[in-house]
Amino acid sequence: MTNSRDQTRDEESAFASLWRRAPLWRATIVGAVLVTVAAAVFRAESPSAMSAPAHSATSTVPAMAAGSQKYAQSQASPSVIAATERESVENGPASGSVADEDEQAQAVCHPHLLHAPSMPQIDVAGNSAPNLGHIKIHFWVNGAGAVTREVLTAATLGTHVEQEAETSFAKQLTFSVPHTRDCQSREIELIGDFFEQREQTGSWATFVRLYPRFTIGNSGSLERAE
């Protein structure tokens, strides 16, 4: 037992002597201790840092269908969709100053659908892809909101008789026109795009999308729809 205590005192004395006489070794020991303490502190703090949210909450906004337009469903006919904004546009100068002024005035006059008769349905039983077809009719509305003339401009859907039925349908539409001098004194060009779309039952139904020929874009420039 005595020898053991003597050996311990000798080792402590040797260590103390080395500690006093070897500054480089002493600095190494101190540095190692500091690194060990820093590592322990880092590990102690790491769990709280990792527990913070790894991402921020996001909201998913569904994409708008059919050209990113807003449509008002007509109460007169479930198959009529009146577009309150343009569907597709082409920018470009008018052919002359008089035409430009007229188109600018038309762009300000946005007729709103008041009444539509029952939509003539197109038979698509023998059509493998009815959703790809369209019937487009350009028509003009006077200050009283009545259709004065119409032109069939494109037809890749339905028979000739069915296309005539859709044209007759367009003639019977009635609108409300802004009560301004410019709007009441001119004809305003609109477009009817007839197309097929599946209903909730899975069957095909004929719809028409109505939108103005001329509109004012977000930048203030005149835009023309086709």
Buried b (16+ CB within 10 A) or exposed e, 108-129: ebbbebeebeebbebebeeeee
CB atoms within 10 A of CB 144: 11
pLDDT at 115 exceeding the cut of 80: yes
| CA distance between the termini of the chain | 108
Listed by start position, the domains of the chain span 2-50, 71-225
pLDDT at 72 exceeding the cut of 90: no
CB atoms within 10 A of CB 216: 14
Torsion of Cα atoms, 88 then 94 then 95 then 101, to 10°: 130
What integer best gives the mean pLDDT of the chain?
73
pTM recorded for the entire structure = 0.60
Bridge partners of 188? Answer: 141
pLDDT at 53 exceeding the cut of 70: no
Instruction: Give the pLDDT band of residue 101 (cuts 50, 70, 90).
Output: confident
Could you give the angle at the alpha carbon of 151 between the alpha carbons of 149 and 154, nearest 5°? 160
Chain segment 24-44, per-residue pLDDT in tens:
555 555 555 554 545 554 454
pLDDT of 7 reads 57
